[in-house]
Amino acid sequence: MITQPAPACWLVGCATPPTVQWRRRAAGIGDTTPVYACHAHAISLDGAAHVHQPACTADPARLPSCSCTPEPLPPADEVPVAPAPPAAANLPPHWAPPPTSS
Ligand SMILES: [Zn+2]
Ligand SMILES: [Zn+2]
């Protein structure tokens, strides 16, 4: 059985287990690579919906913004099904879904 290394927060030296992720375009190839972040170092939920530039760095001083201009969102009918988000209680405050009135 192969054990994947636990993902780490993008901020080097941050030991907090990441709770969220977004995608960054991999340099040179048409693929994307996941970027993981803990609560304190997550970009905005809107920003995380976009694919970011290869050189994107989420500057701690600019959070929840990042240093790049993310790629535009694909047309709605091409949006892949998003993975199920973690439990709401496990999301950074600025990622919390709006309260439902049911
Ligand atoms: Zn962190
Ligand atoms: Zn970015």
Predicted pLDDT at 82: 61
pLDDT tens column, 22-74:
999 987 777 899 999 999 999 999 999 999 999 898 888 889 999 899 999 87
Centre of ligand 1 to C-alpha 31, Å, is 24
Q: Would the pTM of this model clear 0.75, i.e. be above it? A: no
19 residue type, one letter: T
Question: What is the pLDDT confidence band of residue 99, given thresholds at 50, 70 and 90?
Answer: confident
CA of residue 2 to ligand 2 center, whole Å: 31
CA 73, CA 15: separation in Å to the nearest integer?
A: 31
What residues sit around ligand 2, an ion, with C-beta below 5 angstroms? 52, 56, 66, 68
CA–centroid distance, 65 to ligand 2, in Å, is 8
